[in-house]
Amino acid sequence: MQTLLKLLSDGRFHSGEELGALLGVSRSAVWKRLEGFERDYGVVIQRVRGRGYRLEDPLSVIAPRLNSGPWPLDVLSSVDSTNAEVLRRLAAGAVAPFSVLAERQTAGRGRRGRQWESPFGANLYYTLGISVGAGAKELEGLSLVVGLCVARAIRSLGVVDVGLKWPNDVLVGGKKIAGILLELTGDPADICSVAIGIGINVNMRKADAIDQPWTSVREALGVAVDRNVLLAALESELAQGLSRHREEGFTASLDEWESLHLWQGRRVTLSTSIHNIVGRALGVDERGALRLLVDGQEQRHSGGELSLRLSDDS
């Protein structure tokens, strides 16, 4: 199936005879494979008599690495969730660091139990599994550091107006372009493993299930982009950013994070599982906790299922 996808990824028409000859199968076998591809992966294939087949939207296929990369990468056609897959592999004894990327997720997960929209071949659905040996200290501010790495990777493609929303969203023009989901296994106070899930909207053009303003790299630049280029930039930034965080802690990234914090000084509402807290965002502390000015007093919040939004009067 990957070979057929690669042949069609250029967006041009290819006849059944041409595809059959390249794949070593009959025209009818090509037709059946394409029918199954549409059914199983949700992509749209155009069929024009006398011209052949082509993808309605050209795809940038994730290619095998030409070099070793910072850690092993496994590219899957489809998986329920890259985070779930990494956690399964960690539980089975896989040695970290390693990463999993999927062309599609059937049950992609966001924070607070939300579904992550995951159409085939349109975006990056990526999870890195790492081991943490320094206990809670190494976990402090980790999601914020990953957010910085994602923001840098997106900016490297020429996207401007990239900003961060505490604790783990990346926005462009005020619209969400990427999200981060960290899941732990083991003892957070001692030795544990972390699945660092990253979803970036790359070439996606429609998503009916998303209930908030969103954008993509394609929309920001006005052209479709090669996901391989973004993937390489992302892994490079993660390798450097995580190494620095491991050696120096979050304080080394605090100033840069705050420089990209879109709601710095704004009036915000922090929602917890119990109540809402309204205050002014002062930034973050050396542990990555949100600093809020509430009724003249500074409060600090981190951990748990927290959600931050601008207040209506901001």
Residues recognised as catalytic: 111, 176, 309
83 assigned binding-site residue: yes
**Shortest CA distance to 123 belongs to which of 29, 214, 189, 247?**
214
- Is 106 annotated as belonging to a binding site? no
CB 202 within 8 A of CB 225: yes
User: Binding residue per annotation — 203?
Assistant: no
Q: Is 81 annotated as a binding residue?
A: yes
Indicate the pairing of strand 98-102 with strand 73-76.
Answer: parallel
Residue spans of beta strands (DSSP E) within 103-168: 124-132, 162-165
Residue 100 has which token pair?
């999993």
The reply to whether 246 sits in an annotated binding site is no
Give the C-alpha separation, 231 to 123, whole Å. 10
168 is an annotated ligand-binding site residue = no
Instruction: Write out the binding residues.
Output: 81-83, 105, 109-111, 176
Instruction: Write out the binding residues for biotin.
Output: 81-83, 105, 109-111, 176
